[in-house]
Each structure stands twice: as C-alpha cells, then as structure tokens.
C-alpha cells in the first residue's frame, strides 16, 4: 500500500476530497479513494462526520491494477479497511469482507475471540448477545459475530445491536468420515426371511 504524500489520509479526509468529483461527470472519480457505498460514513453531498472514537468502515477505489500478490491478475476494485475516528488505513484487499475484518482488528481488537451466535431471532436474542459480550461492547459500536450458512455470508454494516457490523461466521465443517466406494457383499438367505 503506497500513498503519495499529497493524498489525503483517513476515511473522512479521503471521502471529503472525493465528494466534489462525485457529481462532476467530466472528472473520472473512479481512481479516487472514498468510503464505499453502503458502508458507515458514506455520504453523497456533505462530508461525513468524524467520530470521537474508533469506528470501522471500508474505503474503495475502482480501477484496473495488478494484484499486489504478484500473480499478474488485475483487480478492478480495491478495498481498504479504515477508521472514522482517525487516519488509520489497512492494506489493499480484493474482497470487502477482508477489509471489514482489517478495520475491526484496528477498532475492536479481540473481536475474533468473541463467541459466534445463531442468527438474530426474537427479543431475547439481544439480551443474550449483550450478556455474552463485554460490557459496553455494543455501545462502542462493537460487532456481533453471527453463524451463517448458505449464500448469505457478507458482513452487514449497522446490523449489530448498537449499530456496529454483524460479522458472518461460517460454522466449522462437520467431521469428514471415510466414504466406502465399493459395494459390500450381502449375505442374504431368502428362506430365513420367511
């Protein structure tokens, strides 16, 4: 991750610099880092409000660039975890989920060690989550970890109690057993069945 010295640093500064280009169709705003659409702090007309504490978000930019892993492939979109309370930015990532996790490593250290809960159901779920997680966790915008299967495995901004992220956790796979591929001989005597 290299940033020229004249570029703004941090989610708030980058998005503020991006806004004049958002509505100017004569300017190519694709290569400008900004807060990603739908992520905390995203605005279309006015600069986002900085937070007094560390809150996670995701920066994005659209352009073809060689992947930083040296494979030679190009990534049309790049993402970075970022903080709404300071100028911290994470490394370039291909997937939004990785950037979200980087941001949480900065804003809410220890989140990976918290228990994963079943998907939210009923009023008792929030009470259960609040009792399992550290005191004040959700008040500080902390994420909740939710077990999810199927195709919906995205991290959801604003879906945790207190407005933090609902971070998808894939349950561990069931233990793999030995598969028998040959038919076993069957000793069957029809006279015994009668």
Q: How far apart are CA 166 and CA 124, in angstroms?
A: 17
Q: How far apart are CA 46 and CA 89, in angstroms?
A: 22
> Model confidence over 174-184: pLDDT tens digits?
445 555 556 55
Burial (Cβ within 10 Å: 0-12, 13-18, ≥19) of residue 39: buried
Q: Return the pLDDT at 182.
A: 62
Q: How far apart are CA 32 and CA 133, in angstroms?
A: 37
Which of 97, 90, 41, 37 lies closest to 62 in space, CA to CA? 37
- Token pair for 167: 């971070």
Same domain, 30 and 88: yes
Same domain, 58 and 31: yes
What is the span of the domain harbouring residue 78?
A: 1-107
Q: Which residues of the chain have pLDDT under 70?
A: 1-5, 24-25, 28-29, 63-75, 173-194
Same domain, 5 and 100: yes
Q: Return the pLDDT at 175.
A: 47
Sorted by sequence, the CB contacts under 8 Å of residue 48 that are 6+ apart come out as 11, 12, 15, 16, 35, 41, 42, 84
- The residue with tokens 């004040």 is 136
- Token pair for 178: 């030995």
Indicate the number of domains in the chain.
Answer: 2
Q: How far apart are CA 192 and CA 113, in angstroms?
A: 59
**SS3 state of residue 93:** strand
Same domain, 4 and 99: yes
Task: State the pTM of this model.
Answer: 0.77
Is 178 contained in some domain?
Answer: no
């Amino acid at each position: 991750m290299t940033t020229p010295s004249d570029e703004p640093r941090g989610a708030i500064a980058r998005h503020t610099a991006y806004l004049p280009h958002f509505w100017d169709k004569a300017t190519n705003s694709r290569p400008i880092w900004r807060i990603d659409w739908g992520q905390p702090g995203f605005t279309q007309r006015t600069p986002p409000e900085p937070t007094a504490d560390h809150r996670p978000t995701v920066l994005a930019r659209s352009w073809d660039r060689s992947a930083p892993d040296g494979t030679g492939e190009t990534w049309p979109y790049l993402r970075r975890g970022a903080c709404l309370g300071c100028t911290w930015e994470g490394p370039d990532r291909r997937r939004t989920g990785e950037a979200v996790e980087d941001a949480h490593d900065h804003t809410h250290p220890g989140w990976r060690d918290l228990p994963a809960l079943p998907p939210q159901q009923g009023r008792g779920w929030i009470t259960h989550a609040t009792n399992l997680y550290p005191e004040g966790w959700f008040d500080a915008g902390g994420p909740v970890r939710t077990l999810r299967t199927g195709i919906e495995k995205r991290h959801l901004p604003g879906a945790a109690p207190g407005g933090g992220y609902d971070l998808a956790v894939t349950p561990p796979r069931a233990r793999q057993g030995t598969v028998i591929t040959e038919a076993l001989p069957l000793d069957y005597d029809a006279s015994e069945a009668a």
